[in-house]
Amino acid sequence: MESYVKNTIKDKVAQIEFFSSASNSLGSEALEQLREMIKTCASDVNVQVIHLKSAGEKVFCAGASFDELLAIKELDEAKRFFMGFAKVINEIRRCGKIVLTTVQGKAVGGGVGIAAASDYVFATESAAVKLSELSIGIGPFVIEPAITRKIGLSNMTSLALNANQWKSATWAQTSGLFHEVEADLDQLNQKSDALLKQLVSYHPQALAEMKKAMWQNTDHWDILLEERAAISGELVLSEATIEALTQFKRK
Mean pLDDT of the chain: 95
Task: Tell me the CATH architecture of domain 4-186.
Answer: Alpha-Beta Complex (3.90)
Q: What is the pLDDT of residues 99-132, one digit of tens each?
A: 999 999 999 999 999 999 999 999 999 999 999 9
Among 63-72, 93-102, 135-144, the least confident range: 63-72
What would the DSSP string read from start to end of the chain?
---EEEEEEETTEEEEEEE-TTTT-B-HHHHHHHHHHHHHHHT-TT-SEEEEEESSSSEEE--B-HHHHHH--SHHHHHHHHHHHHHHHHHHHH-SSEEEEEE-SEEETHHHHHHHHSSEEEEETT--EE--GGGGT---TTTHHHHHHHHHHHHHHHHHHSTT--B-HHHHHHHTS-SEEESSHHHHHHHHHHHHHHHTTS-HHHHHHHHHHHTTT-TTHHHHHHHHHHHHHHHHTSHHHHHHHHHHHH-
Return the domain boundaries, the chain.
4-186
Q: What is the pLDDT of residues 182-236, one digit of tens each?
A: 999 999 999 999 999 999 999 999 999 999 999 999 999 999 999 999 999 999 9
